[in-house]
Amino acid sequence: MCYTVALDTDFFTKEQTEEFFEILNENSFIYGNFTGKNRLFIKTFLDSISSKEKISGIIADFVFKTYVKRYFLRAVDEIYYYFDKNEKDEIFASLDKEKDVKFISDAVLKYINENNFIEIKGFADFRLTDFLNGIFDAAESITDEYLEKKEYFEFVKLLKYFLDVQNSECERVDVFKNKNGEYVLIDENKNKIPLSDCEVSVEIADEILDVYDILLSELINLAPKKVVIHNKNMFENKEILKTIENIFENNVSYCDGCDLCEEFDKNDQNIKKDDKID
């Protein structure tokens, strides 16, 4: 059966329509085309279920990359006007493309099973209304998540800078968390490191102590060449571990059990300031 796909040339750019043709060629579709007023018409034969499914997937992917993207970024612009093109592309990439394209593809397939003509923009305007409303509503939360991630990586970058400028001779720090939720740091000589002796840099004290965790402050000030985290399951806040990994990178390792762990448990986490684990 002959089917017609129409593209609104006032809405879709020349580059976008050319890309659509390229995808048809890549998928070995045989078609003819002609131009009408503000429309580009493409005629092709869809003589099997698989050919209908394939064209539905192509149209869905095209709609997502053009129509949905424009719609979504318009919603972003209404809330946040200051993003540049690269930032907008990153935000759009946060959408669940596979899920969204599948939804659109199913809708297209249902439509072409009942009709032999589809005008892509009109289809999106009238058949994807609820879907697009959901995309619009999600724009704010998705953008907020993007900003949080960006702020997080800027924060990590700042901490890595402070780490790099520290002049430390500390070779290794072993990190424990006791049953009371307190951090215990042990140096390479198996001496407990008094947390009160680790003064936080004034410039970043508020950020570290209020936003994340005092453990970061201690490790940044000590700037050890190696950090060993013991009893990982004791750390309820996995975000702190992720941040330590991002800052110290390959210099972080995890211990699932060693002599130091046994000695620490044996002492019931009651190591005093000048105590030493033997």
Q: Using one digit for the tens of pLDDT, what is the confidence trace for 268-277? A: 545 444 455 5
> pLDDT tens digits, residue range 109-132?
999 999 999 999 999 999 999 999
Topology adopted by domain 168-266: Nucleotidyltransferase; domain 5 (3.30.420)
CA atoms of 103 and 233, how far apart (whole Å): 39
Average of per-residue pLDDT across 91-105: 96
- The CA angle 56-58-61, to the nearest 5 degrees, is 105
| Residue of 82 and 267 predicted with greater confidence | 82
The phi-psi region of residue 55 (left if phi > 0; otherwise alpha if psi is between -120 and 50; otherwise beta) is alpha
Q: At what angle do helices 214-222 and 238-248 cross, to 10 degrees?
A: 20
CA atoms of 57 and 59, how far apart (whole Å): 5
Domain coordinates in residue numbering, the chain: 2-160, 168-266
Say if residue 257's pLDDT is above 80: yes
Residue 62 binned pLDDT confidence (cut-offs 50, 70, 90)? very high
Which amino acid is present at 37?
A: K
Q: Checking DSSP bridges between strand 172-177 and strand 39-45, what pairing results, if any? A: unpaired
CA atoms of 54 and 60, how far apart (whole Å): 10
Average of per-residue pLDDT across 49-53: 95
Q: What is the pTM of this model?
A: 0.72
Which amino acid is present at 84?
A: D
